[in-house]
Structure formats: C-alpha cells, structure tokens
A and B are shown apart, each in its own frame.
Chain A
Amino acid sequence: MSWLAWMAWTGPTAVFFAAIAVMLAGMTLLAIKYPSSARVGILGIETARGDRLFITLLGSAFINLAWLGLVDAPQYGALIICGLFAFCVFRWV
C-alpha cells in the first residue's frame, strides 16, 4: 500500500474512519429499509435520522475536546459522555 503512504495512515485513525464509514453505510441501509420520518424535537428544529447522527458526531467532537482541555482523566470518560449524548439526541432532538 505504498501509494497510500502520503496519507500517513495509522491503525487507530484507520479504525476511526472505518467506524464512521460503517456508521454511514448502516444509516443508508436503514434509511432504505425504513425511510426516515422528520420530527420536531426539543431544539425546535426539524430533524431526520441523519441530522441526529450529524448533531451527535459534531457534539461528540466538542465533548472530546472539552474533556481533553478541562479534565485530567483518561479519554474513555469522554466516550461515555458521548454515548449518553448520542442517546439523548436520538431520543429527544
């Protein structure tokens, strides 16, 4: 895979992007099988399933950065908060 050397791939980043790709593929299949219904949640905006995933991913990035900058503890803690955040977003947003 020398033609990919310029991208400076590492194991953890490959896993990260693979997870994102699997998530997107899963959401696509889910959307084909069970077409999404948009709804208005607690934020007062209309969101479909994909919007909720986007909000979750964007929010998770900020949760991780905040954890890194403010809390002196292993990063796994941020992952737990991201999980809770994702649950809340998919349930109520």
Chain B
Amino acid sequence: MTQKTTNQRAWFLVLPVLALVAFSSIIPMITVVNYSFQDSFGGNEFFWVGLEWYRELLQSERLWDALGRQLLFSSIILLIEIPLGILIALSMPKKGWMASLCLVLMALPLLIPYNVVGTIWQVFARADIGLLGRAISDLGLSYNYAQNAFDAWVTVIVMDVWHWTSLVALLSYAGLRSIPNAYYQAAEIDQASRWAVFRYIELPKMRGVLIIAVLLRFMDSFMIYTEPFVLTGGGPGNATTFLSIDLVKMALGQFDLGPAAAFSLMYFLVILLISYVFYTVMISADNDGAAR
C-alpha cells in the first residue's frame, strides 16, 4: 500500500482556468444535458420527455451501426499507423541535413487543414480525373470510392494514414533520439541482433511517447468528421457514416435537438471512459518508469 499526503489547497490556483472552461465547455455541456431530456419544436419551446431519447437511441440500429463502424475504423487506423510510424522513425536519418529535411517533410501533412485534406483526396482519388483513381482504373482494377463501399473505406483509411502517420513517426523519432548512446554500445558489446535492440532497448524506451501517440490517434480517429465528410459525405449509403457524421446529420440535418443531445452525451461518455483508461495507463507507466 502506498500512502501519500497531498495539499488540496493548491486546487484553488486553478480557479481562473476553471472559470474559462466553465464558459467554453461546462455551460454548453449543461445545456446539452438539458436538451437531452426534452423535445423542441422551434421558437425556444421545450417539452419534457424524460429518458425517451436515450431509450430510443439505445434501441436504434443506426447508432450501433455507426458505433461499430467507428470502432472498426479506429482499430484499423491504430493497427496501421502505429507500426508504420515506428518503422518510419527507425528508418529516418539520425543527424545531418537529411534528418532536418525528413522532419520538415514529415510535418507537412500535419499542417494541412482537415477540409483541405478531404478535398485533395476527393480529387486525387476520383476515377475519372484524379491521378490515383485514374491510375488504378488504368491498371484494369475496378475502383470508384463514390459507388463502392469497400473502395470508400480503403480511400478514407489511406487518407487518414497519409495525414496522421507522420505524427506517430515524429513522436517515435523523439523517443528514439532520447535514448542514450550507452545503451547501443552495451548492445553492441553483447552482440545483440537488430531485433533484440528494438525489442529490449528501443521499444521499452519509446513506451511513454507511444502511449501518447496511441491516445492521440485513437481519440482523433474516434472523433473523425471533416475528412470523410468532405470525401464521401458518409456514403455510399451509410458505409462511411461514422458517429460524428451521424450526429451532425441528426442535429443539423434533421434538427432533432433532443435525440442529438442524448447521442452527444453517450458519445462523450464513451470518449471520457477511454480517455480515463488511457490516462490511468499512462500515469501507471510513468510511475513504473520512475520506480525503475
């Protein structure tokens, strides 16, 4: 059992931030909670419906399908981007002008606004005029992301990988650069294989940054909206309708404020739960690292 006493008065120092957060997040969130128990017919008139929207949504196939697609998307993204990012970081030059050039090139996709990424890929992947789409079609392969659900998924995933793998690579690179040279020298003396160096030196030393990378990529892919919305509009059919796209359709397309508010809160709870689990794992990992 660890026993540690903390002085809770320090929390008063965060009151100014709390006031700002209240206006930007807490008050809007309270409003969403209020909306989620009511029905609205416009004119700022609301009618109490109790837990009706929650009950309806929990039994709605639409929500579960969107959640399934979202989880599948996030899982695929993590399975591709994390190993690929590590591989790129391992292949990057360690010093010299090439290292600087690589860093700048890797950072470029991260600087492009989300809607511009969607637009670039919308044109790039078009089967009739896009460079990628046309090239695939000329190879004799049937490809049309606007009509085929599988093609749409592949395009959305490749787009996300293009946009965000550099983040994982840059974080991993930072982790790799922080490993003292003595570890590599010791491995060389022991005649350790390249795999052993990666498995027992580089990977454990990168654990902290990798947890951050997984957290950032999971959260961001779980909330993805702009890129697939610009690229496919959630289609064909509902094939790429992820949770946030579905939510916007409900709130702004159908103007169902009550159900959309209930949907938002359930979405928020899932994100909060996952963030807390990641946060806890990160803190435990840090504590373990400090203890060693």
One of A6, A39, A75 near B3 (C-beta < 8 A): A39
Would B30 and A7 count as touching, CB distance under 8 A? Answer: yes
Complex CA gap A40/B5 in Å reads 14
Is residue A42 within 8 Å, beta carbon to beta carbon, of the partner chain? Answer: no
Q: Given the interface contacts A37-B4, A39-B1, does A13 sit within 8 Å of B276 by beta carbon?
A: no
Is residue A68 within 8 Å, beta carbon to beta carbon, of the partner chain? Answer: yes
Would A28 and B8 count as touching, CB distance under 8 A? Answer: yes
Would A58 and B280 count as touching, CB distance under 8 A? Answer: no
Please name the residue on chain A nearest to B58 by beta carbon. Answer: A69
Would A8 and B34 count as touching, CB distance under 8 A? Answer: yes
Complex CA gap A87/B51 in Å reads 26
Please name the residue on chain B nearest to A39 by beta carbon. Answer: B1
One of A5, A35, A69, A75 near B59 (C-beta < 8 A): A69
One of A13, A39, A61 near B34 (C-beta < 8 A): A13
Chain A residues whose CB sits within 8 angstroms of the CB of B8 once the complex forms = 28, 31-32, 35-36
Would B273 and A68 count as touching, CB distance under 8 A? Answer: no
Is residue A62 within 8 Å, beta carbon to beta carbon, of the partner chain? Answer: yes
Chain B residues whose CB sits within 8 angstroms of the CB of A31 once the complex forms = 8, 11
Is the contact region of chain B dominated by helix, strand, or loop, or is it mixed?
Answer: helix
Q: Given the interface contacts A7-B30, A13-B34, A45-B284, does A61 sit within 8 Å of B276 by beta carbon?
A: no
Complex CA gap A87/B276 in Å reads 20
Chain A residues whose CB sits within 8 angstroms of the CB of B276 once the complex forms = 54, 58
B25: min CB distance to chain A, Å = 14
Please name the residue on chain B nearest to A38 by beta carbon. Answer: B4
Which residues of A in the span 10-38 have a Cβ within 8 Å of any Cβ on B?
10, 12-13, 16-17, 28, 31-32, 35-38
Would B55 and A68 count as touching, CB distance under 8 A? Answer: yes
Would B34 and A7 count as touching, CB distance under 8 A? Answer: yes
Would B44 and A32 count as touching, CB distance under 8 A? Answer: no
Complex CA gap A75/B37 in Å reads 14
Chain A residues whose CB sits within 8 angstroms of the CB of B7 once the complex forms = 35
Which residues of B in the span 10-54 have a Cβ within 8 Å of any Cβ on A?
11, 27, 30-31, 33-35, 37-38, 40, 44, 46, 48, 51, 54
Complex CA gap A37/B48 in Å reads 43
One of A5, A7, A35 near B5 (C-beta < 8 A): A35
Would A58 and B273 count as touching, CB distance under 8 A? Answer: yes
Which residues of A in the span 67-92 have a Cβ within 8 Å of any Cβ on B?
68-69, 75
Is residue B269 within 8 Å, beta carbon to beta carbon, of the partner chain? Answer: yes
Is residue A53 within 8 Å, beta carbon to beta carbon, of the partner chain? Answer: no
Would B280 and A40 count as touching, CB distance under 8 A? Answer: no
Complex CA gap A22/B272 in Å reads 22
Chain B residues whose CB sits within 8 angstroms of the CB of A3 once the complex forms = none
One of B34, B51, B58 near A75 (C-beta < 8 A): B51
Beyond A35-B6, A46-B2, 4 additional pairs, beta carbon < 8 A: A7-B31, A8-B44, A8-B46, A65-B54
Sample (24) of A-B pairs whose CB atoms are under 8 Å apart: A6-B44, A7-B27, A8-B44, A9-B34, A10-B46, A10-B48, A13-B37, A17-B33, A31-B8, A35-B5, A35-B7, A36-B5, A37-B4, A38-B2, A38-B3, A38-B4, A45-B280, A45-B283, A46-B4, A58-B272, A58-B273, A62-B273, A65-B54, A65-B266
Task: Give chain B's interface residues, CB within 8 Å of chain A.
Answer: 1-9, 11, 27, 30-31, 33-35, 37-38, 40, 44, 46, 48, 51, 54-55, 58-59, 266, 269, 272-273, 276, 280, 283-284, 287
